[in-house]
Structure 1
Amino acid sequence: MQLAKHRRRPRLELKDPPHPDNLHALYRETEDPVERARWHALWLLATGHPIPQVAKILGYSERWVRTVIHRYNQGGLRAMADLRHRNKGKPPLLPPEVQEAFRQALQAPHPRDGLWTIRNAAEWLSERLGREVDPRRAWSWMRRLGFAPLRPRPRHRERDLEAGEEFKKSSS
């Protein structure tokens, strides 16, 4: 019985790398930190540093460095620039036009009872967005827009109004 020999992967190298000075200039001029790391990796590789050392210098994994090399080999310098900002993130929970409408609504008295409570704000947002909005989320949007929810001071249900007036008169 004959055993199969272990075959090593071919060494991964940059194909037709530009002059290291050009890569260094791209690395130094770029303001985007992610793109800067890519150019830095290419510059180090072009100057003869091995992949593990580049990964250690930059604080990335060897896999990340290999991905950068593969992308460069497939698309050249243009491929490195096209990688910028692919992940735009989630859209905001409150679109800008709804934010502005909410700000305008908060500046006027609430239509039902004149006070913007957290529950009133959550109902208003639920109607505009077409989905349920948690009162805590409404509160955070009110705070983000610079408003505080208003509610009357709590009053005791069994208070004596006459005794309160009498107290005010006697204490002044």
Structure 2
Amino acid sequence: MTVADHLTLNELWRRVKKAKDPIDKHRFLAVYHAKRGLTAKKIAKITLNTPRWVQETVRRYNQGGPAALGDRRHQNPGQKPKLTPEERERVLGALQGPPPDGGLWTGPKLRDWVERDLGKRLSLYPIYRLLHEMGFALRVPRPRHAKADEAAGELFKKTSSPRSKRRGPRGGG
């Protein structure tokens, strides 16, 4: 494997030792060993990667020099938001009132509203993420058993001993 003469062997080793980013350190280590004459297979064992990764890393170094080994994920801004800030404000305004069909807002109702009023089709995941980012939380009452006797439950609460009220749910102290 041929390694370009961008840096000497000692300079490569210094880059391995001084790298603060573990990804950079890992890549410089692979190039350092390649410059020492090790095969891609041996370097892959040392770096716990595949020979293909080693070859790709050395290729990047040969073409772009030391700067090409940087972790490019840090410059990736990610996907742009599905809704603009103005659209988010409209969604927040809509959530302040009742949904068009009455009742309570649900994810599917909000998704339908966004599609109808904003003209954007979103799956439920971005809708729920949007609600979470806006500070909304799921509020659902605890389920009640269909055959539960409310009077018996209240009587139990009033007549149970104070000791059982202090203990946790499993009877631990």
The 5-angstrom pairing of residues 2-151 of structure 1 reads 12-16=1-5, 18-81=7-70, 84-85=72-73, 88=76, 91-92=79-80, 94-95=82-83, 97=85, 100-101=88-89, 104-105=92-93, 108-110=96-98, 112=100, 113=102, 115-127=104-116, 130-135=119-124, 137-148=126-137
Within 2, Cα distance between the matches of 1:33 and 1:129?
44
Does the 8 Å CA contact 2:91/2:114 hold for their aligned counterparts? no
The residue identity in structure 1 corresponding to 2:92 is Q
Does the 8 Å CA contact 1:126/1:132 hold for their aligned counterparts? yes
The residue identity in structure 2 corresponding to 1:117 is T
| TM-score normalised by the chain length of structure 1 | 0.58
Structure 1 runs not aligned, ≥5 long = 1-11, 153-172
Shift of 1:123: 2.1
Return closer, same or farther for 1:111/1:35 CA change in 2, 3 Å cut-off: same
Structure 2 runs not aligned, ≥5 long = 142-173
Query: Identity of aligned pairs, percent?
Result: 24
Return closer, same or farther for 1:73/1:139 CA change in 2, 3 Å cut-off: closer
Which structure: larger Rg? 1
Within 2, Cα distance between the matches of 1:99 and 1:29?
46
Query: How large is the Cα RMSD of the aligned pairs?
Result: 3.8
Does the 8 Å CA contact 2:30/2:43 hold for their aligned counterparts? yes
Between 60-69 and 42-51, report the one with greater CA deviation: 42-51
